Amino acid sequence: MELWFTGTNAGMPIADRNVTSIVLRLAETRGEFWMFDCGEATQHRLLRTPLRITRLEKLFVTHLHGDHVFGIPGLLSSRSSLGATAPLQIYGPSGIRELIDSWMGITETHLGYPLSVCENTEGIVFEDGDYSVRCAKLDHRIECYGYRVEEKPRAGALLVDRLERAGIPPGPLYGQLKSGLDVELKDGRIIRSADVRGPAIPGRIVAVLGDTRPCAGAVRLSERADVLVHEATFGGNLADKAELYGHSTAEQAALTAREAGVSRLLLTHFSSRYGAEDIAELVQEARTLHPNTDAAVELTPYAIARARNES
């Protein structure tokens, strides 16, 4: 599992930073990836990564400001032109369905795959056997959401030495025990799966927040996340401007991360006024409150390690 940032700038693109879009690449065995927001030119930036648009499975939209959605029509059209047939699901605030229907209708864009659009209510918006996704409202100038992705726990490793002591040779029985099934041996003994497996391996937690002032929803979504992606539009000297426009400073992002017990904080959505040296200063501001903080760098993969208490 890893994160890619195809845009980290706020408001509009600049020469070396595009507007907001974040990709969560799922486990290699699954193959698909999910996207959070889709600013203008996102599909262009994806061409510079190993990610293929046809493998996009879900798009989670935080809010309907242009720097977060203007890339959607082109992305949907190109996904179809490239031959994708697998369904695509879009989740977002009220109005997202009307916006997409208008784009598709006025431009007479026809897709070669099923598209479903779900307008959020707070709580779980998606769940399957591997992941769940929960959303909650944030505090921005318009309706805005953050998302919490939780990977389901995995079964613990087989305790092979214990199986060998019980006289169970490698073979099909190992697979059954690994999958959680109890087995009966020829001599009548019952081997319980729970007795020959190590502790369950906790899943990873990733929180991706939209634009927001500090708020309770941001803390709830971020609680004990392995990675929190949080906007840092301004430095601390512009806290009044951040409050006025519904944004956070780097220090405020770090406070949320610290309160929520986050392992790693990745800052994004930087004002166009900031160059590379300025962003380094924002990171230092945040690190005074949450040491494990970095500024997201576009087109760089960020691996998400397994949970801290995994043996």
269 in a labelled binding site: yes
229 has pLDDT over 50: yes
The tens digit of pLDDT for each residue in 65-99 reads 999 999 999 999 999 999 999 999 999 999 999 99
- The answer to whether residue 225 scores a pLDDT higher than 60 is yes
230 in a labelled binding site = no
| Confidence (pLDDT) at 29 | 59
44 is in an annotated binding site: no
pLDDT band per the 50, 70, 90 thresholds, residue 311 = very low
- Tell me: is residue 211 an annotated ligand-binding position: yes
Sheet holding 264-268, edge to edge: 123-127, 131-137, 145-151, 205-208, 227-231, 264-268, 293-295
Percent of the chain with pLDDT strictly greater than 90: 80
- Residue ranges and CATH numbers for the domains of the chain are 2-152+202-303 (3.60.15.10), 160-195 (no CATH)
Q: What average pLDDT does range 15-21 have in this prediction?
A: 97
128 is in an annotated binding site: no
pTM of the model: 0.90
Give yes or no: 139 in active site: no
Mean pLDDT of the chain, nearest integer = 94
Long-range contacts, stretch 93-102, CB < 8 angstroms, 24+ apart: 93/61, 93/62, 93/63, 93/64, 93/119, 93/120, 93/142, 93/143, 93/144, 93/145, 94/119, 94/120, 94/143, 95/64, 95/119, 95/143, 96/61, 96/64, 99/64, 99/69, 100/72, 100/73, 100/76
Nearest residue to 298 (alpha-carbon basis) of 1, 31, 44, 26: 44
Task: Give the tens place of pLDDT for each residue, 100-128.
Answer: 999 999 999 999 999 999 999 999 999 99
> Which of the residues 16, 37, 67, 226 is marked catalytic?
67
pLDDT surpassing 90 at residue 226: yes
